[in-house]
Amino acid sequence: MTYFEQMKEKTALLKKNDDVLVLALESSCDETSAAVVRNGREVLSNIIASQIDIHKAYGGVVPEIASRKHVDVINEVVEQALDQASIDKKNLDAIAVTFGPGLVGALLVGVSAAKALAFGLSLPLIGVHHIEGHISANYIEYPDLEPPFICLVVSGGHTQIIHVTNYGQYEVIGRTRDDAAGEAYDKVARVLGLGYPGGPAVDCAAKKGNPQAVDFPRVKLKDNPYDFSFSGLKTAVINHLHNLEQKAEAYITEDIAASFQEAVVDVLVEKTIKATEMLGQKKIVMAGGVAANSSLRTRMDLETNKRGIKLLKPSPILCTDNGAMIGSAGYYRLMQGEISPLTLNAVPYIELKS
């Protein structure tokens, strides 16, 4: 029997286990994370080593530095995750890892480490799509949550409205045609001199600004009312600042941040609610780094409350990249009998498939 066949057999037996312990690795961007998750819902440990302080000096993530840093810390992060969970490697049931999308060199570090662990410990390996991980963060935050629901995914690389019809089953209702919401936040933060990472900095500055100070565009796309476009908004902010600078007029950074954020939040909330009503759903969950945004959370609360729609949002630590969300997504894939071969590779661009 080949290694893969042996692991398939092991995976089939997992369904009969009361306790399925998954060690999960995430290294798609600038966080090295490892977590131990029980039965897809209970986090025994979730170690996150952030590289923010290193990339700050460059105003953004430098891919080559990110890969090297992941290599430096990954073994230590895995050891810490096992220690904190008080779990011996021998008691693990499977290894899950983000295989894409993300920075290819960064992903490769997690994928290689996971393959070595799986082979060395004779455990099934499961490659997880990063966005499936973000969505699954909600299964950890809300242990009773079951599909179907609508998920607004807003991260540094993605902006999508997804109809989650079952575990691992996705229908993309709307997506960005150009920049992701997080990308727009990071770019605007940079031109406003707020530094990296941009999202939290704009969020913070916006709290002190007037959201009505500048009427930035809210793009409507005729052929799909649920699609987004943020590049025009980003350019509008840049042009607005250039115009003021050329006329040597002063501006209030906080007002620009608040007005930009208002435009982003307006379209995210409006389209998500519209898609939810169109599909007759009653539950919205939020996912991804931008889901930590205070204004987006408040407005989503307000608008869903008005309409009797239930809103679920993970705590900020589960919104941004972490290993626990990968452990949850990996668990549900394993329960469906899915595993990856040891030839699993990192894939920088890959759509979320059912």
Tokens of 155: 């991260």
Q: Which of 200, 209, 211, 323 binds ligand KG4 (CB under 6 A)?
A: 200
> In the sheet that 283-287 helps form, which strands lie side by side, from edge to edge?
169-175, 159-166, 149-154, 283-287, 310-312
Stretch that binds ligand KG4, among 249-257, 271-279, 285-293, 301-309 (CB under 6 A): 285-293
Angle of helix 130-141 relative to helix 323-335, nearest 10 degrees? 90
| From 265, 321, 323, 332, residue interacting with Zn ion (rule: CB under 5 A) | 321
Selected binder of ligand KG4 within 198, 211, 314, 323 (CB under 6 A): 198
Stretch that binds ligand KG4, among 153-161, 211-219, 277-285, 331-339 (CB under 6 A): 153-161
Min dist. Cβ of residue 323 to Zn ion (A): 12
Phi-psi region of 337 (alpha: psi -120 to 50; beta: other; left: phi over 0): left
230 binds ligand KG4 (CB under 6 A): no
Q: Which does 157 bind (CB under 5 to 8 A by kind): ligand KG4, Zn ion, none?
A: ligand KG4
Give which of 203, 152, 155, 158 is closest to 177, Cα–Cα: 158
Q: Which of 29, 77, 107, 118 binds ligand KG4 (CB under 6 A)?
A: 29
Which of 157, 168, 314, 323 is in the footprint of ligand KG4 by CB under 6 A? 157
The span of 83-91, 152-160, 197-205, 328-336 binding Zn ion (CB under 5 A) equals: 152-160
Q: Does 155 bind Zn ion (CB under 5 A)?
A: yes
Which C-beta is closer to ligand KG4: that of 149 or that of 185?
185
DSSP for residue 209? S
DSSP bridge partners of 213: none
Q: Which of 344, 322, 328 is nearest to 94 (CA)?
A: 328
Spatial contact of 190 and 59, defined as CB atoms under 8 Å apart: yes
Is 203 an interacting residue with respect to ligand KG4 (CB under 6 A)? yes
Our CB check for ligand KG4 shows the closer of 160 and 340 to be 160
210 by Cβ neighbours in 10 Å (0-12 / 13-18 / 19+) ranks as middle
| Among 127, 147, 168, 288, interactor with ligand KG4 by CB under 6 A | 288
Range list of β-strands (E), 57-202: 94-100, 125-129, 149-154, 159-166, 169-175
Local structure of 153: helix, strand or coil: strand
Q: If binding is defined by CB under 5 A, does position 93 make contact with Zn ion?
A: no
Residue count, binding to Zn ion (CB under 5 A): 2
Helix (H) or strand (E) holding 42: strand 42-50
Say which amino acid occupies 105: G
Distance (Å, whole) CA 147 – CA 139: 10
Q: Tell me the three state secondary structure of residue 166.
A: strand
Q: Is 289 in the site for ligand KG4 (CB under 6 A)?
A: yes
Amino acid at 280: G
Q: Which stretch binds ligand KG4 (CB under 6 A): 74-82, 89-97, 168-176, 179-187?
A: 179-187
DSSP conformational letter for 289: G
For position 197 contacting ligand KG4 by CB under 6 A, the verdict is yes
Residue given tokens 């250039």 in the structure block: 242
CB of 156 to ligand KG4, least distance (A): 3
**What does the alpha-carbon distance between residue 85 and residue 331 come to, in Å, rounded to a whole number?**
17
Under rule CB under 6 A, residue 259 binds ligand KG4:
no
Q: Is residue 110 a contact residue for ligand KG4 (CB under 6 A)?
A: no
Q: In angstroms, give the least distance from the CB of 203 to ligand KG4.
A: 4
Tokens encoding 257: 């941040």
Q: Which window, 88-96, 182-190, 223-231, 329-337, contacts ligand KG4 (CB under 6 A)?
A: 182-190
User: Considering only 2-10, 154-162, 227-235, 271-279, which stretch makes contact with Zn ion by CB under 5 A?
Assistant: 154-162
Residues that bind ligand KG4 (CB under 6 A): 29, 155-157, 182, 185-186, 197-200, 203, 288-290, 292-293, 320-321
Residues that bind Zn ion (CB under 5 A): 155, 321
